[in-house]
Amino acid sequence: MRTVIIGGVAGGMSAATRLRRLDEQREIVVFERGPYVSYANCGLPYYVGGVISDRSALLLQTPQSLASRFRLDVRTGHEVLFIDAAARTVTVLDHASGETSTEAYDELVLAVGATAREAAGHPGIPTHTLRTVEDVDAIGALLETAEDGAGDPSALVVGGGFIGLEAVENLVRRGIHVTLIQRGPHILTPLDAEMVVQLEAELRSHGVDVRTSVTIDTVQDGVVVLDDGSVLRPDFIVDASGVVPSVDLARTAGLTLGPTGGIAVDESNRTSDQHIYAVGDGVEKVDALSGGEALVTMAGLANRHGRSVADVIAGRPERNTPALGTAIVKVFDTVAAKVGWSERQLVSARRAHRVIHTHPASHATYYPGAQSMSMKLLVDPESDAILGAQIVGGDGVDKRIDVLAVAVAGGITASGLARLELAYAPQFGSAKDPVNQLGYVADNLRTGATAAIQWHELEDAVAAGATLIDVRTAGEHAAGAIPDALNIPVDELRSRLAELPDGPLVVHCQVGQRGHTAARILAQHGFDVVNLDGGYRTWAAGAATRVRQPAGV
């Protein structure tokens, strides 16, 4: 039996090496059009920034090492031009010799990934993506030229997603002045607006010129004109504006493409042709929340699906689990992570949801070095299922997002987070871990022990007649307050009930906890009261976005 794999790196090489472990006799041929078949593409930005100093550390395997250990026939510099699905052959161009050949297969695995959304160059300005070893070599050469020239070197990064942010950080590390432009109203669009305020502030604190709701209008003779009329003269451009599935081979082979534009596959990654499989960034996944098709471009999924395809080809039944879209990025000293859907997605899909914001510390506050986190949990109000989560902070973000991802995968409800038994010592967490705290809030809302409104709902509530009560200390109130809030500290609340007006009340503190206590006091004294979710800190972050959010469904 002969299996041909088109494309290496995560999905293709995972399929090839796993298949060899399962089948020693099979002939396995890998065609890779580039010079490198196995490299750490997630580490590329950090080589640009000098965090990873040894270029060879990025090159995980070579054709020779793969042949020695796995008896794989790996051919770099070989581009598959055409798939004849009926004949079960591929036409291959050898870039070194210029000759083409026809290669037969019993099973074919497409692992060709995705390509940059905007691959066109810009006249007079070197432009590169940041996806391959060749890209970082080219950017490295540009950096050396820019650093050796007169004046302060500068770069324009297009796109504020995960790759764009990593590119920005590492260019700054090299002493480059960076302008970051983002088409939408805020960077890192998988997160909601109020959650990225801290991240944008972190970028600006390191000298990054962050510009949102702006795109390139024209580029001519080394001058970039943005659509807001502003002019830039960068030494080079890094295009991180996104990717699209590479589907040309699939299309010409007659394979079915899905509604997202990616290659349609079944739960075993089999395409519409029973002898052709597909994995990686160019393939549609099943969204864990909607059950519909989605494009999720994550290295972990590519590796996992490459492995599962090998199992299927070897005769071992294997099915993909739906994709959660778990992701994380670190920009200077700030970490942002997410799993599942954002509030924006839920509103767009008109799906009912409940929102919870908390601002816990990474570990016990009495132990030195505790760092604040901002956490957001999205919950189905009927089933109490976790629909999504976002965390921004420093230490401990990775641990908590992974716990939440496992909770979603395991079907643990939002309230069930309160009952998780998590590792605790003062330097690692709190006796009430931040994940547990999310569960306590979720349970209070589920059971009706408290009611809450969101930061973007406050204006309408006040306009409808509600009175806002700030239950923080007088000093906190004086340092910054929501307009027209009446300040009555929570510790004085019982003795000052007579000062409260008739009608509905909205209470708030700094992060929500004292607000919950105040709401419980007032509710038991007969007041109509809700707590402002996430307190003043969440409201301030939301107000800073200057983007009015939908009030929900």
The ranges of the chain annotated as CATH 3.50.50.60 are 2-114+244-313, 127-241, 333-447
Report, as ranges of residue numbers, the positions in the chain whose pLDDT lies below 70: 118-121, 149-150, 546-553
Name the CATH superfamily housing domain 333-447: FAD/NAD(P)-binding domain (3.50.50.60)
**Could you tell me if residue 512 is left (phi over 0), alpha (psi between -120 and 50 degrees) or otherwise beta?**
left
Single out the catalytic residue among 42, 60, 214, 226.
42
pLDDT at 550: 40
Residue 42 known to be catalytic: yes
pLDDT at 19: 97
Which pTM value belongs to this model?
0.93
Is domain 452-545 given the CATH code 3.40.190.10 in the classification?
no
pLDDT at 184: 93
User: How many Å apart are CA 242 and CA 245, to the nearest integer?
Assistant: 10
pLDDT at 545: 86
Write 133-139 long-range contacts (CB < 8 A, 24+).
133/34, 133/35, 133/36, 133/39, 133/44, 133/58, 133/59, 134/34, 134/35, 135/44, 136/44, 136/45, 136/47, 136/48, 139/48, 139/236, 139/238
Structural contact between residues 139 and 234, judged by C-beta atoms closer than 8 angstroms: no
- One of 3.30.1310.10, 3.40.50.620, 1.10.260.40, 3.50.50.60 is the CATH number of 127-241, namely 3.50.50.60
The ranges of the chain annotated as CATH 3.40.250.10 are 452-545
pLDDT at 120: 57
- CATH code: domain 2-114+244-313 is 3.50.50.60
Query: How many residues does this entry show for the chain?
Result: 553
